[in-house]
């Protein structure tokens, strides 16, 4: 399974919003600059995230974007599901009727298992956990430079 750039950047966008949670709204241009991602591309990514109410927007001079709930309440699975779709690796997992062999196919059972493991892992990681992991990695890199 390979995640799209849209999903990888979407997770980075959401992590940036999580890092600023409880503060003033953040402009996409500031996130784009900080993450090295095109602002135009981020503006396309934010639309579905706003559509499922993971993100809220504030208009005006002091506007921008905020998370709609606490970072501890948003999982990576929620973000991936919005931007990528479900974690099914093959069509027959999501829709067993698409393959007449699904009921007797051992490979089908493996794909179901792997998809469940991916979904469980993504469900177990929240944005606040991701922010902490990013901060730890940044701290470790600073320590290596000393």
Could you say which of 3.40.47.10, 3.30.70.20, 2.30.40.10, 1.10.10.10 is the CATH number of the domain covering 5-145? 1.10.10.10
Mean pLDDT across the stretch 70-85? 95
Q: What is the pLDDT of residue 143?
A: 44
**Model confidence at 52: pLDDT above 80:** yes
- 67: Cβ contacts below 8 Å, ≥ 6 apart: 14, 17, 18, 21, 54, 55, 56, 74, 127
Burial class (CB in 10 A: 0-12, 13-18, 19+), 135: exposed
Decide if pLDDT at 110 tops 70.
yes
The ranges assigned to domains in the chain are 5-145
pLDDT class of 55 with cuts at 50, 70, 90 = very high
Mean pLDDT of 108-117: 90
DSSP category for residue 26: B
Residue 57 has pLDDT above 50, yes or no: yes
Considering only residues 97 and 16, tell me which one the structure prediction assigns the higher pLDDT. Answer: 16
Looking at residue 47, its pLDDT comes to 96
Average pLDDT, the chain: 89
CB 42 within 8 Å of CB 50: no
Tell me what the mean pLDDT of segment 59-72 comes to: 90
Q: pLDDT at position 140, please?
A: 64
């Amino acid at each position: 399974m390979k995640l799209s750039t849209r999903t990888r950047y979407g997770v980075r966008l959401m992590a940036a919003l999580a890092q600023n949670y409880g503060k003033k709204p953040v402009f996409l241009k500031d996130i784009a600059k900080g993450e090295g991602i095109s602002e135009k591309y981020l503006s396309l990514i934010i639309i579905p995230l706003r559509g499922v109410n993971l993100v809220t927007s504030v208009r005006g001079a002091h506007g921008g974007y905020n998370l709609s709930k606490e970072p501890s309440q948003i999982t990576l699975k929620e973000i991936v599901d919005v931007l990528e779709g479900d974690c099914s690796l093959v069509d027959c997992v999501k829709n067993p009727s698409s393959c007449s062999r699904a009921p007797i196919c051992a490979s089908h059972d493996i794909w179901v298992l792997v998809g469940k493991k991916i979904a469980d892992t993504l469900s177990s990681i929240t944005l606040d956990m991701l922010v902490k992991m990013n901060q730890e990695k940044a701290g470790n890199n600073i320590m290596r430079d000393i």
